[in-house]
């Protein structure tokens, strides 16, 4: 192996590790209660999958909590095969983190359409789940202190679907998965591109040299 190839290989090895700020959540289960006035009945299936960005900026703050509005991507939620319509107001999907104690993931939906159908006050339906981590979060509620190892040791608390001014239906979960999602940093991608380009140049150089020596 010549010096050029060794250098290019070292460039690939020295590229910084990809940054993992995204956490993937997957839930599946059934609803335990009916919600009066809606299409939701006991035994209805429920599924949810979404990504949470631990580097999302704080949207609102108090002395004891932070709220993060631009925190979720790739949200897919169904109730008995129906995909609820996101709530047209604000916030729609958000996280509230309280001191060092717990975080709550909330997803607001349009309560006037299926599957909520105007039950309760007929404005907002919600899927909500909490994770309690007493003393394990930052000194002030901070998503940056979350990690997959921590979340995997915690059980989701009080997962439910409910409507404002109406009934709640606790979820019986058969799946509650938390896993990391690794996204390469721009610097890593740039180094990788440079290295691959260098390998290409090196390959063409050696091919041309062999042709000339033939």
Each residue's pLDDT tens digit, 79-115:
999 999 999 998 899 999 998 788 999 999 999 999 9
pLDDT in tens, 144-173: 888 888 888 899 999 999 999 999 999 999
pLDDT in tens, 25-52: 999 999 999 999 999 999 999 999 999 9
In whole angstroms, what is the distance from residue 32 CA to residue 160 CA? Answer: 9
pLDDT tier at 22 (50, 70, 90 boundaries)?
very high
What is the gyration radius of the CA atoms in the chain, in angstroms?
24
154 class by beta-carbon count within 10 Å (0-12 exposed, 13-18 middle, 19+ buried): middle
pLDDT in tens, 115-130: 999 999 999 999 999 9
pLDDT at position 14 over 80: no
- Lowest mean pLDDT segment, chosen from 17-31, 57-71, 90-104: 17-31
User: Stretch 49-74: mean pLDDT, rounded?
Assistant: 94
**Domain residue ranges of the chain, discontinuous segments joined by +:** 1-18+184-214, 22-183
């Amino acid at each position: 192996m010549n010096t050029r190839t060794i250098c290019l290989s070292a460039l690939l090895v020295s590229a910084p590790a990809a940054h993992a700020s995204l956490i993937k959540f997957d839930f599946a289960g059934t609803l335990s209660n009916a919600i009066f006035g809606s299409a939701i009945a006991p035994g209805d299936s429920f599924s949810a999958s979404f990504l949470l960005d631990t580097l999302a900026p704080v949207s609102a703050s108090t002395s004891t909590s932070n709220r993060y509005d631009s925190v979720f991507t790739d949200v897919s939620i169904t109730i008995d095969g129906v995909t609820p319509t996101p709530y047209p107001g604000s916030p729609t999907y958000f996280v509230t983190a309280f001191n060092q104690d717990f975080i709550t993931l909330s997803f607001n939906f349009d309560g006037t359409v299926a599957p909520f159908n105007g039950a309760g006050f007929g404005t907002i339906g919600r899927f909500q789940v909490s994770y309690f981590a007493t003393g394990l979060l930052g000194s002030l509620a901070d998503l940056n202190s979350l990690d997959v190892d921590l979340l995997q040791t915690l059980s989701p608390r009080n997962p439910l679907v409910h409507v404002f001014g109406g009934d709640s239906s606790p979820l019986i979960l058969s799946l509650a998965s938390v896993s990391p999602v690794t996204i390469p940093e721009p610097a890593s991608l740039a180094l990788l591109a440079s290295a691959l380009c260098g390998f290409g140049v090196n390959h063409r150089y050696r091919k041309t040299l062999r042709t000339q020596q033939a």
